[in-house]
Each structure stands twice: as C-alpha cells, then as structure tokens.
Amino acid sequence: MAKGTVYRSGHEWPSARRLRGKFRHAAFVALAGLLPPLLGLPVLSWQVRQAIEAEAAGIHEFVATRIAAIFTHANNAAGEVTSLVGSSCASAGLGLRLGVTAHPFVRSLNLAENGRIYCSSLEGSVDYAEEAEAYADGRLRLMPGNQVTPSRALVVYRQATQSGSVLVGIDGQHLFDVLSLGVSEFTVQVGIKGNWVGPKGVVTAALDGTGEAVASFMESTDYPFAVGVAYDKGRIWQNLATEYWPSWLLLALLGVLSGYAVHRFASRHSSLAAELQRAVEADEFVPFYQPIVLAESGKPAGAEVLVRWMHPSEGLIPPNQFIPLAERTGLIVPMTYRLMEQVKRDLSSQLSRLPARFHIGFNICAAHCKSMELLERCRDFLEPFPPDSVVMFVELTEREAIPATPLTDELFIQLDRIGVQVALDDFGTGNSSLDYLQRFTVNALKIDQSFVAKAGAESLSSHILDIVADLAGRLKLTLIAEGVETAAQRDYLEKLGVDYMQGYLFGRPVPFNNFASVHLDQPAKPIMPKQVESA
C-alpha cells in the first residue's frame, strides 16, 4: 500500500464538508443570536397581558360601581312606591309620576299584580304580561326595546312585594354612557341573564362574540349583573412594539452578544480542528512507548503506544488535550494509522532486539470501527514481522461506545482471525465493559489505574480489583494492570495473579530510542576505536 495516499484521500476535508461546516456555523450563530429575543417574547407578552388585565380590572371596578349606583336609585324609587301595589291606577298615577321625577335614571315606574302590569307612570292604565321569569334573580331584565322605545335597549328593575311587584324602567342610555367612559382601548359590556350590551346599545348573546380577548369578568355582589372587559388581541403586539422597545433593545443586544460568543467558540473549535488536521499531515504526532512487563519476572514484554503532539511552537502536548477533539472530528483515524506506520518502522528497525512475542498495544476508539479499514491497517502493520515476533493488541476504550452492528461484529471476527488481540482498556470504569466481553472475542483486560492505586487497601476499589482478577481467571483472559507506581502495588498484583504490568514503576512513556536503549536487549556492538584507546 502506498504510504499516506489512502488516508490522505479518505480523510482530507473536501470543499463540500467545509461548506457544510460553514453552514452549520452560521446556523448556530443565528440560533444563538435569536435565542434571547425568542425566549424574551413570551415573557414580555405575558407582562403586557398582565398590564392590560390590571388596567381592565380598574375599569371593571369603576364601571360596576357606577352601574350598581344606577340600580340603587331604581331600588330606592321602587321602595317608595311599593305601598301603591294593589291600589287602582287612578289613585296611584300621581305617586308614580312623582317617583319618576324624584329619582335620577328612572324613566318609568309600573305596578304589576297577578302577573299583569296594570299601571304605568307613562301610559296610565295598561295591561301587559309581567313575565317575572325573564328577570335575573327576579330583579333585573335587559330588553332590546319595548313598546315605547322599540329600538333602544332598556333595563327593568323589579322589586317584588307581597301582592305583586314594582317595575322600574331605566333608559339603557345611562348604562351605555357608563360603558363608554374614556376606555377607548377596551370594550366594556354589561350582562344580565345571558344578554350582553355594549356602549353602542346592541344586545348580543355572548360576551366574546366580537372575537376579542376577555380581560376581566366579574359578577356584581349587590345586583344580578356582570361586567366584562374585552380588548382587541392585536393590542398585545401593539403594546409590545410601542411600550417595550427598551426591553427589545436589550434582548437584541443580548442576541448579538450570544451570537458573537458562539461564533468565537465555534471558530476556535474549527480552527483547532484545522490545526489538528494540519498537524496530522505534517506528521507532528509521534508514538511514545511505555513498557509493559511480565508480572512474575519484571522483564520487558512489550509496550503501549501513547501518542504525543510535537507542536512546532507549543512543544510536547499530552494526549488528553487533543484526543477528545481528534475523536469527535474523526481525525483520530488517520492519526492512529500514521502512528502504526511509524511504530512498524521503529520495531522492524530493531527486530533482533525485541523479546519473543513482543506485545504492542494501540488505543482504538469507536471512530475506527466504522469501516473495515482497521483490519487492513492491522494486516499491513503485522506484514513485515515474522510469526510470533510481534503480537498486536488493540485497546478499546469506552469514551464513545462501539455500536453493535453487523460491520463491527465482522470487523472483530476478522481481527481475531489475523491474530490481533483485543484488550478492554480502563476495565471497570465504563458501563459497556461487560457488553463488550459478550460481543467481541476479548483476549485481555486492562485494569484501570484508579483500582490499582487502591491495591491492598481495605476499600471498594480493592474488592473490584479482586473480582476483576477472578473474572479474568474464569474467562481465561490475560490480565494487565496499568498505573503501577509502587513496589507494594506490584507485589499485591502479582499475588493476585496479574499477568502483565505497566506503570511508572517500570518506565514512563518515552520516544522509541529511549525505550529501546533502556528496555530492549543491547545490540551486539563492535568495539569502538575510543574504547580501544582508553583501554
């Protein structure tokens, strides 16, 4: 395979991807910019509605008091003539007419007996049906008009007496005047027994028949009538625009700020990703080797490859600062394959110095498991090594779970066939470890350093350590302990039956030359001239 070509063509950022990235960037910025006004809108409109409703309640109070006052006058007028009920119309007529003049708002006073109106201050002797059942609570009636003023709404106040009733006619105009008092933004209506009348004097059957929103509705406690205050729904928007512009200004400012913040963040993210991309191509990622030793003898058995970024200006950057982004952007894939190439070169240059079955571990994540390329890469890696000289391990982490798909199943079956060993990294810290154990042919467990740190101590971690060792024994899995720092930990782990160990006690991750000079057999050196001189 021509070095570099596949991952260059496969992982470079084509312009379509860049375009998509730009579009996504713009969409995020726009969303962040619009978020404050969008969130502010319901809050502000709630405020506007509250303000309108408070105003409506004030109007309501004002109107209801005045209308009740009109009915009180009617009530007083009726009270003064109740004694006339039953008297003949001829004798009662004058009293009724005096009553009308003595009380404001009263247009007529009428007497009824046995369900018939028999005497009226306007017409003298009459004979109309009283229709007592048409009165709300037997006391109030709203009529679109009557025989005297057929086109003008009329309110009748009724006061029952022992033998009949007094009916007080009130000109609807008095009510309409109250309803229209200085409240042009609201429609105020008064309702009596399901009939509603507004300032224009038109009687309707429902309060909200106009399609307006009802801001306030209340039944009077003194008389059987209700007052409803409604407003045009468009008024909320109107008020939002005219009265709340300082709030809008503030929200717009917040929108600009949050859009800018997202723009900065995303630019930094994408420039970091671009920087990572550049570094992959410039081969700035180099493999460091940390020794893995045999637990029994402490002799070197292999190494784990841990990447380092040799940044031209920043110097050596540890993996935790770029691996997460590399994984998210998928750049981890070409990065790992370049490391494999490098490691292949390193190991094949010193093949004679490697202990038999040299164990070499690579860290693999979910992004590598999206195609069969990993299989090709592993085959390619193993190709120059004679059988049993090098054993390749892929260490699976759980930072991002490897999905269970037919492709991943096939990938791991094939890896097993070509002799690649699978180790579960950081075993015991994630929650899919046991799932992986079931799904893949796993060969080894790497006990996470957090458990190793507590080795021998009376703690939950040390119990987990014991259980993992037991599990590995039962499943016949190779057990590797990582993060071994002290001799006490080493002794404890050895007794536990751990097969391999890795940790600062045996060596830190170092470049290949350092690794080879410390951990591999020394090459058979020819006698140097200098040594001859000094001898």
- Contacting residues toward ligand C2E, per CB under 6 A: 290, 305-307, 318-320, 323, 332, 336, 339, 363, 365, 397, 425-426, 449, 482-485, 502-504, 509
Closer CB to ligand C2E, 339 or 445, in the complex: 339
Closer CB to ligand C2E, 196 or 337, in the complex: 337
Closer CB to ligand C2E, 331 or 520, in the complex: 331
| Binds 236: which of ligand C2E, Ca ion, none (CB < 5-8 Å by kind) | none
Q: Minimal distance in Å, beta carbon 342 to Ca ion? A: 17
Distance CA 340, CA 330 (A): 17
User: Which two tokens mark 28?
Assistant: 């995020």
Distance CA 523, CA 519 (A): 12
| Binds 110: which of Ca ion, ligand C2E, none (CB < 5-8 Å by kind) | none
Q: Minimal distance in Å, beta carbon 424 to ligand C2E? A: 11
Closer CB to ligand C2E, 204 or 478, in the complex: 478
Closer CB to Ca ion, 395 or 398, in the complex: 395
Distance CA 36, CA 165 (A): 65
How many Cα neighbours within 13 Å face the side chain of 214? 12
| Binds 40: which of ligand C2E, Ca ion, none (CB < 5-8 Å by kind) | none
| Binds 320: which of ligand C2E, Ca ion, none (CB < 5-8 Å by kind) | ligand C2E
Residue pair 248/38 in contact (Cβ under 8 Å)? The answer is: no
Strand partners, 108: 169
Q: Minimal distance in Å, beta carbon 307 to ligand C2E? A: 4
| Binds 183: which of ligand C2E, Ca ion, none (CB < 5-8 Å by kind) | none
DSSP H stretches of helix in 440-524: 449-452, 460-475, 487-496, 512-519
Closer CB to ligand C2E, 226 or 447, in the complex: 447
| Binds 339: which of Ca ion, ligand C2E, none (CB < 5-8 Å by kind) | ligand C2E
CA of 265: how far to CAs of 25, 28, 31, in Å?
A: 10, 11, 14
Q: Minimal distance in Å, beta carbon 429 to ligand C2E? A: 10
* Cβ-proximal residues to 308 (8 Å cutoff; 6+ apart), any chain: 285, 286, 287, 288, 316, 317, 318, 319, 509
The residue type of 461 is: S
Residue pair 473/463 in contact (Cβ under 8 Å)? The answer is: no
Total count of residues recorded for the chain:
535
Closer CB to ligand C2E, 155 or 484, in the complex: 484
How many Cα neighbours within 13 Å face the side chain of 468? 31
Q: Minimal distance in Å, beta carbon 483 to ligand C2E? A: 4
Residue pair 206/196 in contact (Cβ under 8 Å)? The answer is: yes
| Binds 509: which of ligand C2E, Ca ion, none (CB < 5-8 Å by kind) | ligand C2E
* Nearest C-alpha neighbor of 304 from the set 348, 347, 357, 363: 363
Q: Minimal distance in Å, beta carbon 1 to ligand C2E? A: 20
Tell me which residues touch Ca ion (CB under 5 A). 363, 395, 425-426
